[in-house]
Structure formats: C-alpha cells, structure tokens
Amino acid sequence: MLWTKRVQTYNGIAYKIGIIPQTAPRARNTAFELDFASPLESNKTWLGCQPHKLVSVDLRAGVKPMLSQLRQDLGTEVHEHQNESIRLTELLDQVNEGLNDKKEELEALEARLGSTIEQFNEIKDTTTAESSASNAQAETLERDLAMMRNSAQNGLIQLDQRAQSVSIEYEQLVHSTNALREELIRDVVKTLDDVIQFKLHIQTSLESLDAEANETGEEDGCQGASLN
C-alpha cells in the first residue's frame, strides 16, 4: 500500500509538471508514468524480484537521467522567468512612474482647464451683455436708418416732383422767350423798316428843298441882273 501511494504521488506530480502521458509537452516522447509490473507466470509473487523489475519503466537508466535533464531545463526556465519577471517589474515600475507623471500632468491640465472654463464663462457673460447692448443699439440704428431711408425717399419724390415742375416751367419759359424773341425781331425789323422809310423820306425832302433853294437862287440872280 505504501509503494502504491508513492507511485500515485509520483504520477500525480509528473502529470502536473507535464511529463506524463508520453505525449505531454515536457515528456519528449519518453514514458515517465510508473506502474507495478505483472509477476512472471513461474513466480506468482514479487518476492525475490529485483527492485527495478517491480515497476513498468527503467528508473535508473531511463527516468532518472531524463528527470535530471528536466530539472536543468526547469531551472533554466525558472531563471529565464525570473529574469523576465525582473524585466517586467522594472518595466512596470517605469510604466507606473510614467503614469504618475501623466497623472500629475493631467491634474495640471485639469486645473488649467478649470481656469480656462471659468475665464470662458466670464468672457461669455461679458460678451452676452455686450451683444445684448450691441443688438439694442443695432435695432435703434436700424430704426433710425429706416426713418432716414423713408425721409430720403420722400425727399426724392418731392425733388422729382419739383424737378418735373421746374422742367415744365422751364419749357414754358423757353416757349415764352422764343415767342418774345420772335416778337422783338418783328418789332426790330419793323422799326428798321420805318427808320429806313423815314430816312428815305427825309432824304427826298432834303433833295426837294435843295432843288427849290437852287431854283429860288437862280430866280433872284436873274432879277438882280435885270435891275442893273
């Protein structure tokens, strides 16, 4: 019973470390599983059997060297895992240190963000107030502009009406001026004609008087000669 329990313990540990069954990852196609060998037909008991014949595998020539090699391999793997663990620990420390730095940067950024948000809210409130005042001023200016536009339109209408009235008056004045000029031209022509006729009449009268004077002078000369 004791040997059976030890064999079961061995097989359990071997199974856990991956050397049984024979196709296990670390078995390397070697049979590590122990089992009690069946007694020979001529010997119905294990009494008098050699120890290495009591189990199903050769412990000294087969299992022990492989276990020694496995021990070395496991030691190497453990050492490699320890080195990898140290490397990962250092990497984790670096990552933690980097995370702490980033955390501090994040806290600083959050503080700056809070300050920026506060400034933004202040600027927003100020801008909103200024915008309201600007909107009110813009509405006032828009109303004033509308009034000025209406006044300008009314002024343009009045100016257009005045321009039309002046144009009509101008046309009437031009017509009257043309009529007056034609009348003056006719009067001037008539006056010139009268002056010419009067001049001709005076000239004719002077010629008649001159002729009469000459005749009178000749008659007086003849009478004087007769008296002498």
End-to-end CA distance of the chain: 229
What's the pLDDT tens digit per position in 158-205? 888 888 888 898 889 888 888 888 888 888 888 888 888 888 888 888
What's the pLDDT tens digit per position in 89-121? 989 988 998 888 888 888 898 898 888 898 888
Higher-scoring residue by pLDDT: 67, 198 = 198
Where is average pLDDT lowest: 21-25, 33-37, 41-45, 134-138? Answer: 41-45
Where is average pLDDT lowest: 8-17, 142-151, 191-200, 204-213? Answer: 8-17
pTM: 0.35
